[in-house]
Structure 1
Amino acid sequence: MLLAVLFANTDGNILIERFHGVPAEERLHWRSFLVKLGAENLRGAKNEELFVASHKSVYIVYTMLGDICIYVVGKDEYDELALAEVIFAITSSTKDVCGKPPTERLFLDKYGKICLSLDEIVWQGMLENTEKERIKRSIRMKPPADV
């Protein structure tokens, strides 16, 4: 199961988080642990360079995309290789939505579409979709109709 997907800025502020099967009382611990992990290891990291960590039966894959840190946490069948596929789909769709590796401002401007694409990729703790074109079609937003 995919336990968590988090997006944070370089200061450690969480921009988007999705937890699956993680009790509410443990979420604060995960937030602070992941942000600390990224702060220690992502300084000077290249764009989309993958980092891997594990603790007991939990795996973590994380990377930088522009000014954004992305963390994916999984267990059981979601080992390092499966999480690498998940994070590749997430970074790819985020770049497509933003048009380039995002700054924090651009990320927040495209927040709605990024959340939609994330929901198309990960659904209830399972990898749902990695097809780039299918994700793009699924997240098209229609402008509100004039009433």
Structure 2
Amino acid sequence: MLLAVLFFNLEGNILVERFHGVPAEERLHWRTFLVKLGSDNLKGAKNEELFVASHKSVYIVYSVLGDVCIYVVGKDEYDELALAEVIFVITSCVKDVCGKPPTERLFLDKYGKICLCLDEIVWKGILENTDKDRIRRLIRLKPPADI
């Protein structure tokens, strides 16, 4: 299951978070842990360079895209390789929506479309769509067959 997809700015403030199957009392722990993990490892990282971590039988893949840090957390069948595919789809959709690697301002300007993309990529903790063209059609809120 995909437990979480989180976007932080470079200072560690949450821009978007999606938790699936994580109790509310554990979410603060995850936020704090991921900010600490990113602050230790993402300094000087290149755009879309992937980093991998493991914590309590849970896998974490994270990266920087422009001024935004992206974290994907999964367990069981969502190991490092599966999470790398998920983060690749997410980063490519964010770049598509923003037109380039986003600044924090541009990310927040495109917040609605980015959330629609996330909803099409991950549904209730399961990877739903990986095809960028299909995701692009679905976020226009038209049935895919009409296009």
TM-score (norm 1): 0.95
Aligned to 1:5: 5
Give the distance between the partners of 1:116 and 1:10, measured in 2 at CA: 23
Give the superposed CA RMSD: 1.0
Question: Counterparts of 2:55 and 2:100 in 1: how far apart (Å)?
Answer: 33
Counterpart of 1:120 in structure 2 is 120
1:92-131 equivalences in 2 (<5 Å):
92-131=92-131
* 3-state secondary structure, aligned to 1:102: coil
Q: Secondary structure at the match of 1:76?
A: coil
- Structure 2 gaps, min length 5: 143-147
The corresponding residue for 1:79 is 79
- CA offsets 1:9-52 (integer angstroms, 9 cap, x no match): 00000000000000000000000100110010000000000000
Matched residue count: 142
Q: CA deviation at 1:141?
A: 5.7
Letter matched to residue 110 of structure 1: K
CA-to-partner distance for each residue in 1:43-63, whole Å, 9 max, x for gaps? 000000000001231000000
Query: For residues 22 and 63 of structure 1, what CA distance do their matches in structure 2 show?
Result: 22
Q: Deviations over 1:66-122 (max 9, x none)?
A: 000000000000000000000000000000000000000000000000000000000
Per the alignment, residue 15 of structure 1 pairs with: 15
For structure 1, the 5+ residue unaligned runs are: 143-147
Question: What is the 5 A alignment of 1:129-140?
Answer: 129-140=129-140
Tell me which stretches of 4 or more aligned residues in structure 1 moved more than 2 Å. none
AA aligned opposite 1:105: R
How far apart in 1 are the matches of 2:39 and 2:127?
27
Secondary structure in structure 2 of the residue aligned to 1:26: helix
Report the TM-score, using the length of structure 2 for normalisation.
0.95
Partner of 2:145: none
Matched-pair identity in %: 85
CA distance in 1 between partners of 2:6 and 2:83 (Å): 13
- Structure 1: how far apart are the matches of 2:128 and 2:141? 20
